[in-house]
Amino acid sequence: MSLPESIMKAFPASEDRLFESLRPAVDNDMLKDIAMADNGHQWEEMYEQLRIIRDRGEIPDRFDWQLDEVLCLTRWSDPDKPNPPPFRSGPMGPKGFVTRLFVCTVLMRQEQTPREDWDSNVAISLASAARIGPDADDALARFLTYRLRQITNPDDRFYARLGILTIALRRGNQGITESDLETLADQLLDADTGSRGATSFDPEFPPPADFSIEQGFWEPTVAQLRDHALRVNPKLGEKLQLCALLVARD
């Protein structure tokens, strides 16, 4: 199923826009925060590898174990809740959200990233972009539109569509009507979107929750969907509530 035309026009597919917009926004201190994420283990080597990614825009075909480790640990960080001593605080404040979106983007672009990480990367990217601003939202939506053309797994497509829907709601009109949003919500809730689809969801025998749902990474998005559900027409509002229910931790 194709995205509604107005959504494709608002967020034209782009593989590079998100990564290229983040590279100049990440300074050396932010790279050091990433490199030090594993208690400083091999941090100097990790820092140099991260500089190549940022400065040259070159993402290796395969990450070595330690680079993957510091990227993933940074992804799990919460800039609003820095780690207490004796641990490193990790990325904090506004820069922390840029750092976190940067590592998620690198992980999403790295072709060897395990598929089961996709949902976490999308959830944390959405939460980070919301704190950074409209340009980050637009760039992320354009990347998800691009990836939607590449991925075939129904659950992965579900999460990409959910990200696009959330950003479309956050960004306002942009030529996108409530009817267009209903169409996208219907795609999310359709049975062939995978185990998360509402019509394939049996509340008595629910599928195992994905890691991102268990850990609450979708909760900021759930709150936004429920808030928007109160401000749109009742039919769309009901569908947004259902979309939120599919990724809610409770």
Q: What is the 3-state secondary structure (H, E, C) of 112-129?
A: CCCHHHHHHHHHHHHHHH
Q: What is the pLDDT of residue 192?
A: 47
**Whether the predicted pLDDT of 208 surpasses 80:** no
What stretch of H or E contains 30?
helix 28-35
Query: Looking at 143-147, 171-175, 197-201, 209-213, which range is the least confident one?
Result: 197-201
Mean pLDDT in residue range 206-226? 89
Ranges 22-26, 84-88, 162-166, 189-193: which has the least confidence: 189-193
Q: Which residues contact 233 (CB under 8 A, 6 or more apart)?
A: 178
The DSSP letter of residue 218 is T
Delimit the domains of the chain by residue range: 5-247
198 pLDDT exceeds 80?
A: no
Cβ-based burial of 47 (10 A; exposed 0-12, middle 13-18, buried ≥19): middle
pLDDT over 90 (residue 234): yes
pLDDT score, position 246 = 94
CB 246 within 8 A of CB 201: yes
Degrees, nearest 5: CA angle 240-198-228: 5
Distances (CA, A) of 106 to 8, 58, 120: 23, 10, 13
> 34 and 165 in contact (C-beta within 8 Å)?
no
Asked if the model's pLDDT at residue 46 lies above 80, the reply is yes
149 pLDDT band, cuts 50/70/90, is: very high
Q: What is the pLDDT of residues 68-99, one digit of tens each?
A: 999 999 999 999 988 776 667 678 999 999 99
Mean predicted confidence (pLDDT) in 16-30: 97
Count of CB atoms situated within 10 Å of the CB of 91: 24
Half-sphere exposure of 6 (CA within 13 A, CB side): 15
Return contacts of 135-140, CB within 8 angstroms, 24+ apart: 135/21, 136/18, 136/21, 136/101, 137/167, 137/170, 137/171, 138/11, 138/167, 138/171, 139/14, 139/17, 139/18, 139/21, 140/18, 140/101, 140/167
Residue 120 has a pLDDT of 96
Q: Say if residue 28's pLDDT is above 90.
A: yes
**Percentage, residues of the chain above pLDDT 90:** 78
CB 241 within 8 A of CB 225: yes
Q: In whole numbers, what is the pLDDT of the chain averaged over residues?
A: 90
